[in-house]
Each structure stands twice: as structure tokens, then as C-alpha cells.
Amino acid sequence: MNLTQEDWISQLEADENAVILDVRTEDECNDGIIEHAINIDIHQGQVFINDIEALDKTKNYYVYCRSGARSAKACEIMNELGIAHAYNLTGGILAWNGDIVSP
């Protein structure tokens, strides 16, 4: 599900079962991440699939990338792999107005 930044943040802040997932490359993450995000690079192919399959399917995942395209695809894959609640940050980190921290 695609959410605007405002909806993504308000839903995330109210969600005690939330996990923030960054699907960018390691190099991109080195430029800064949203605080508490875990990184699983969507470009890693089968490694990405394996890492997603290993996630706790009872959690709610708030997913972002650089512009929102890769994270939208990641949410689709996550849904196919049994993760019912994956929320894409529309516009990605480029549109992010919140804090960025070092990984």
C-alpha cells in the first residue's frame, strides 16, 4: 500500500508492531537512513527474497527506497511472500522531511 509521507509517519508512530525497512543499496544507505531502519537491498535478488522470507510476518513493515519505485516493488514481493502489511513511502527518501541518521 502506498502512503504519503504524512500518513506513513502518523501510522508508523501509532504502530507498536512497526519495522522500518530500507531497500536501497549499501552505498545509498551510507548517505543516511531513516532512524531505526534495517537494510535489505532489493537488488540482491535471491538474497533479498531469502531475507524477506526470514522476517517476522506478524510485524508491519514501513518500506522506503530513494524515490519510491523499488520500495513499491518490494511491498508487492513482501505481500506475495506472506507479509500482509507492507507500506510504501511515496516519493522515497528524496521526499523525506524527517531526520536522517548515519547507519
Tens of pLDDT, residues 27-80: 999 999 999 999 999 999 999 999 999 999 999 999 999 999 999 999 999 999
Nearest to 6 by CA among 61, 83, 60, 87: 87
Q: What is the pLDDT of residues 75-99, one digit of tens each?
A: 999 999 999 999 999 999 999 999 9
All structural domains of the chain with their residue ranges = 2-95
Mean pLDDT confidence for 15-27 = 98
To the query of whether residue 29 is one of the catalytic residues in this protein, the response is no
Q: What is the pTM of this model?
A: 0.96
The catalytic residue among 40, 42, 55, 65 is: 65
Q: Residue 36 has what pLDDT?
A: 96
C-alpha distances (whole Å) from 18 to each of 14, 31, 58 are: 9, 23, 10
- Assign domain 2-95 to its CATH architecture: 3-Layer(aba) Sandwich (3.40)
